[in-house]
A = this chain, B = another copy of it.
Amino acid sequence: MDKNPLSANFRLGFLGAGQLARMSALQAFRFGIQIGVFSDRNEKEPVEFMTPYSQTGSFDSADDLTLFADTCDVLTLENEFIDSEVLAQAQENSGTPIFPSPQSFGLIENKLIEKQTFENAGLSVTPYQLIERDKDLNSFGEKHGWPYLLKSSKGGYDGFGNETVHDLDEARDAFKKLGGKDGHDIIAEAFVDFTHELAVQVARNETGHVVYPCCETVQEDHICVAVKSPAPVVKSIQKKAQEMAVQATKAIDGKGIFAYEFFLTTDGELLLNESAPRPHNSGHYTIEGCVTSQFENHVRAVMGLPLGSTKLRSPAVAMVNLLGNKRRDAQVDHSFDALQEADGHLHFYGKLDSKPGRKMAHYTLLGNDIKKTYATARKLTKDITI
């Protein structure tokens, strides 16, 4: 970009309009720039309340994306729902750069290619196999043990697109359900015996890279419900996860913010499980918990600015996701205890409709001891309903 990105008429466009774009947009505003938003939904999404410049279209249409790109100086992603080839087409048509680049994204958008990319970079990944024929379903179970996971290679999130299979019958049903019979690539992934699920975020651009502390994600039903930072594991493991995350980002020549999820196995091995070319739920705690949040470094990275310090602001930080309780107009009830707690921070995403399990808000608490801080954060949020 020849234009100085720190200009009042510079516009950063978000492909996707959910809470990740919303929290990044807040940081974009702090740098004085404008934002545009491209949504694929008809109902009003969180970021559309934050700008006069929003556009609706199809994530599958390079033409729709090009029209939007023409109104922006740079584009960035908040999800993995757009095909990298469509992104490349929109970038070429409009001349508007997209970060992470379609090339980088192309190396991780498909779970099969993602695993190959990271294996080629020398990183250990969860054992996996492309299911090419019916007998692979059985042989994978025999080799790695039942149950295991079947995953569609594209488009999964928060447990969608994943099926846990306990025997061959379930495997066949899941293969069909996930679209294997329709030609979609399906991969099998071994269940790993782990003691912790860990995550690390990395921001990188032409000025260098920064890496966030290694945190632990607490998962229930494939959804991240809470995060503890730093992760309650030995320092050498934290460091190893950070090194792997940086190595993975370099392997895809990533520009932007990236998140990596790991299993720490019962054998003490670190396996890279998943990656995301965008801000990630595991990094929400960085808003108050670190000197520079993942969202600010996301914006800095795609604007080509120097990256900010990722240092923790306190010895312990806990983040609790607040999920919708029932279908209703979204509002937060019973939050005063949480709001009154010193160094407790509530974030509500402004989604109009609540429904059970939907990510609606989160709460971050800074403290001195991760066990206590986490327990307090859970306690302060247990009565909140949305």
- Chain A positions within 8 Å of B, measured between CB atoms, are 4, 6-9, 22, 26, 29-35, 46, 48-52, 54, 291, 300, 305-306, 308-309, 311, 313, 329-333, 335-336, 339-340, 342-343, 346-352, 361
Task: Give, as a whole number of angstroms, the nearest-CB distance from A329 to chain B.
Answer: 7
B50 touches A340 (CB 8 A): no
**By CB atoms of chain B within 10 A, which of A32, A336, A352 has the most?**
A32
B306 touches A339 (CB 8 A): yes
Residues of B within 8 A of A313 (CB): 313
**By CB atoms of chain B within 10 A, which of A26, A48, A54 has the most?**
A26
Given A49-B51, A339-B306, A332 and B4 touching (CB < 8 A)?
A: yes
Residues of B within 8 A of A348 (CB): 6, 8, 30-33
B52 touches A305 (CB 8 A): no
Q: Oligomeric state, in number of copies?
A: 2
A32 touches B361 (CB 8 A): yes
Residues of B within 8 A of A32 (CB): 46, 330, 332, 347-351, 361
Beyond A8-B330, A306-B339, 5 additional pairs, beta carbon < 8 A: A6-B331, A7-B329, A32-B332, A32-B350, A291-B343
Which of the residues B48, B309, B343 comes within 8 Å of A343, measured between beta carbons? B309
Q: In the bound complex, what is the Cα–Cα distance between A85 and B349 (angstroms)?
A: 36
The residue on B at minimum CB distance from A7 is: B331
Q: In the bound complex, what is the Cα–Cα distance between A49 and B291 (angstroms)?
A: 27
Task: Give, as a whole number of angstroms, the nearest-CB distance from A225 to chain B.
Answer: 19
